[in-house]
Amino acid sequence: MTGFGAAEVNGMKAEMRSLNHRYLDITVRMPSMMLEHEIPVRNLIRERFARGKFDITISLTGKRQQNVSVNKELMKGIYDAFAEMKRELLIPGEIKIDFFSGYREALLMEDAAFSAEDLYAAVKEALNRIDAMRQHEGEALGRELKAHIRLIEGLSAKIKDCAGNVSSRLKEQLSKKVAEIASSIAIDEGRLAQEVALLAQKADIAEELARLKSHLQQFESLLSKKEAIGRKLDFILQEIMRETNTIASKSDDISVINYTIEIKSHIEKLREQAQNIQ
């Protein structure tokens, strides 16, 4: 899920952004003098999150106390070089202190020392803030997922109602076909009942509906857990789609087929949103 978190501790600033991603993808940007802490920072994120694309930027701000010194040897070398050139080319005037302002970055040396404790404190606080934002978004996402589950359950109930009339419908269809083929031949009701029973058994979707109901319950139950559930939801959605496809393949009732199409539409929406859950 998306989120943003930032924190600053004694001039050490950590900014963190997260985007939806199927896997865990971490990018860390920090000054070269801190590179030895990159892996521990990554591990802090892995301990908290299982999915998402994270971009982390760590920097030092002006609030940090810094000791600045002048590279006197370099300054003297620059002065001697320009003084010699001035004499050789007979350039009038004096070389004043403001002449060295153009060499500020080369001449001024800043103390690069920093506190690793401040670094990790800033990262942890940024993680806390991004986690709070993701949890808030997760609550809204959970409500949306449950709404799709309710709709699928309603469609499953309609399919069950249609399936309850399968025997009578098959008998009517089979009798009509026999009458069309040989209208002068009397229909053997016993044999017709056997054929209807066989066809009804093949078209029976009670087991698939029971499994579909169970999978929907499992899916909703997982939404209340605090652990990482994203991959489990992916697997259950595969099973829900499998049962829906079986129901569609077994039925020749246009209403049932249309209901399964609607269910598949909701499954795709669930699958898309489930990618955002860790």
Residue 142 has pLDDT above 60, yes or no: yes
User: Does residue 251 or residue 218 have the better pLDDT?
Assistant: 218
Question: Is pLDDT above 90 for 107?
Answer: no
Q: Which long-range contacts (CB under 8 A, 24 or more apart) does 269-275 make?
A: 269/148, 270/145, 270/148, 270/149, 270/219, 270/233, 270/237, 271/234, 271/237, 273/141, 273/144, 273/145, 274/145, 274/230, 274/233, 274/234, 274/237, 275/20, 275/21, 275/22, 275/51, 275/230, 275/234
Q: Which of 187-191, 232-236, 251-255 has the highest mean pLDDT?
A: 232-236
Of 157, 254, 170, the C-alpha closest to 212 is: 157
Show the CA angle centred on residue 153, arms to residues 214 and 229, nearest 5°.
55
User: pLDDT band for position 58 (50/70/90)?
Assistant: very high
Tokens of 107: 């001449």
Say yes or no: 76 and 59 in one domain: no
Nearest one of 258, 14, 266, 25 to 121, comparing CA atoms: 14
What is the percent of the chain where pLDDT is above 70? 76
My answer on whether 188 and 259 are in the same domain is yes
pLDDT of residue 212: 92
pLDDT of residue 237: 92
Give me the pLDDT at residue 198, please.
Answer: 53
pLDDT value of residue 71: 72
Q: Looking at the structure, do residues 144 and 255 belong to the same domain, yes or no?
A: yes
55 — pLDDT class (breaks 50, 70, 90): very high
Task: Kindly indicate the confidence band of residue 27, based on its pLDDT and cuts at 50, 70 and 90.
Answer: very high
Q: Which domain holds residue 236?
A: 140-274
Element of type H or E holding 218: helix 206-222
Read off the pLDDT of residues 146-181 as tens digits, 9 standing for 90 and up.
999 999 999 999 988 877 655 555 555 555 665 555
Question: Are 124 and 177 in the same domain?
Answer: no
Residue 73 sits in the same domain as residue 52: no
- Same domain? 42 vs 76: no
pLDDT at 268: 92
Distances, alpha carbon 175 to alpha carbons 64, 67, 118, 184, in Å: 90, 98, 83, 13
Q: Are residues 148 and 255 in the same domain?
A: yes
Q: 113-139: per-residue pLDDT in tens? A: 678 899 999 999 999 998 888 778 778
Looking at the structure, tell me whether residues 37 and 146 fall in a common domain. Answer: no
Q: Are residues 164 and 270 in the same domain?
A: yes
Q: Looking at the predicted structure, is the pLDDT value of residue 22 above 90?
A: no
Structure tokens at 182: 């040989």
Q: Which of 36, 225, 37, 54 is nearest to 127 (CA)?
A: 54
Number of domains in the chain: 3
pLDDT of residue 195: 55
Report the SS3 class of residue 204.
coil
**More confidently predicted of 184 and 60:** 60
Write down the number of H helices and E strands in the chain.
9, 6
SS3 at position 60: strand
Q: Do 39 and 99 belong to one domain?
A: no
Among the ranges given (3-17, 22-36, 58-72, 100-114), the one the predictor scored with the smallest mean pLDDT: 100-114
Q: What residues contact 91, with CB distance under 8 A and at least 6 apart?
A: 85
Is residue 192 domain-shared with residue 269, that is, in the same domain?
yes
